[in-house]
Amino acid sequence: MKGYLIPVGSSCNARCEYCVTRFRKNNDGLIDAERISKQLSTITNLEYIEITGGGEPLLHPKINQIVKICACLAPTRLYTNGALLKSSLNADDLSELCVSRAHFDPKKILKLWV
- Cα-based distances in Å from 59 to 29, 44, 82, 102, 107: 11, 29, 11, 18, 23
Which residue range forms the structural domain that includes residue 52? 3-113
- Residue 38's pLDDT band (cuts 50, 70, 90): confident
Residue among 112, 102, 73 at smallest CA distance from 14: 102
Over residues 70-89, the mean pLDDT reads 88
What pLDDT does 14 receive? 79
Using DSSP, state whether 98 is helix, strand or coil: strand
Does the pLDDT of residue 51 top 80, yes or no? Answer: yes
Work out how many domains the chain is built from and give that number.
1
pTM over 0.85: no
pLDDT for residue 26 is more than 60: no
Average pLDDT of the chain, as a whole number: 80
